[in-house]
Amino acid sequence: MSALAIETHQLTRRFGELVAVNRLDLAIPTGTIYGFLGPNGSGKSTCLRMLTGLLLPSDGRVTVLGLPVPKQAEALRRRVGYMTQRFSLYEDLSVRENLAFVARVQGLGGRQARQRIHELLTAHDLTALSGQLAGSLSGGQRQRLALAAAVVHRPDLLFLDEPTSAVDPENRRDFWEKLFDLCDSGTSIVVSTHYMDEAERCHGLAILENGIKRADGSPEQLMNNLGATVVEVLTSDLRELKRALLALPGVQSAAQLGLRLRVLVDGRIEQPVNWLREQLPARLSEAELILVRPSLEDVFVSCTGGHS
């Protein structure tokens, strides 16, 4: 298998005047979990749909698992799994019946299908729910079933479109444990999200805004390469201070977090804490200023202008 699960060159999709995905270059290694991080409407779903061969690009080239897409989309179909944003299983079939249906569609029959369904029910903690109608499952249980259904045929590559937007943090954590299990057993995974904590779990990610890739790399690389330093400011009257800070040309953003302001200062300014005190001596005389490690959210704010 090629060392790259996905390679795109100048991938573009237009809808009329709107450019939903704009000249996207990607090189996603096999055996990793890769994330698309971006706000609503940034082009994540459009991009995933083109990578699966379901949507034709307006321009550019796509190779998935070594196959050109959409030309070889049919050959690819058996090798990829796709969990869409909406629950796309049958609500009036039981958990087991849903998996049996997907197994049939994927060409598994008889004993092979029964064995695989048993395996999936166990691996995704669905055994006790196997007779329950899918429509009566909780959000977290639905996600587990949808994931099990997406991997019935043991795909080499799995696409997940905002898989945990409807589940609580604990279920989200469990869901990610399953993704790491799948990745460890050789499945490459591409996942779209607008959650920072999910993006931080990915081996690599691309930050999208208005269909454009603003940055990519591992979360650590992105945080290390942030073109800004982060200063937290503890003081009173944060709203006024925030306005004053944002008026300074060297300040990229200032966000209130409880009793603190998290301030991104242009990385070219060498002593950001001293610089801030020099700019606003009266306002900051009583304040505590601390230089802190950047987070992925800081990276996101810095490269998108902060419209999360």
Ligand X SMILES: Nc1ncnc2c1ncn2[C@@H]1O[C@H](COP(=O)(O)OP(=O)(O)OP(=O)(O)O)[C@@H](O)[C@H]1O
**Rule CB under 6 A: which residues touch ligand X?**
15, 18, 20, 38, 40-46, 194
In order of 37, 55, 238, the CA distances from 8 in angstroms are: 17, 14, 45
Q: How far is the CB of 45 from ligand X (least distance, A)?
A: 3
Q: How far is the CB of 40 from ligand X (least distance, A)?
A: 3
Residue whose pair of structure tokens reads 């061969």 in the numeric block:
53
Q: At what angle do helices 169-184 and 139-150 cross, to 10 degrees?
A: 10
Q: How far is the CB of 18 from ligand X (least distance, A)?
A: 6
Q: How far is the CB of 42 from ligand X (least distance, A)?
A: 4
The residue among 45 and 304 lying less far from ligand X, judged by its C-beta, is 45
Q: How far is the CB of 196 from ligand X (least distance, A)?
A: 14
Q: How far is the CB of 44 from ligand X (least distance, A)?
A: 4
The residue among 84 and 187 lying less far from ligand X, judged by its C-beta, is 84
117 CB burial (10 A radius; 0-12, 13-18, 19+): buried
Q: What is the largest CA-CA distance in the chain?
A: 78
Q: How far is the CB of 20 from ligand X (least distance, A)?
A: 3
Do the Cβ atoms of 52 and 159 come closer than 8 Å?
yes
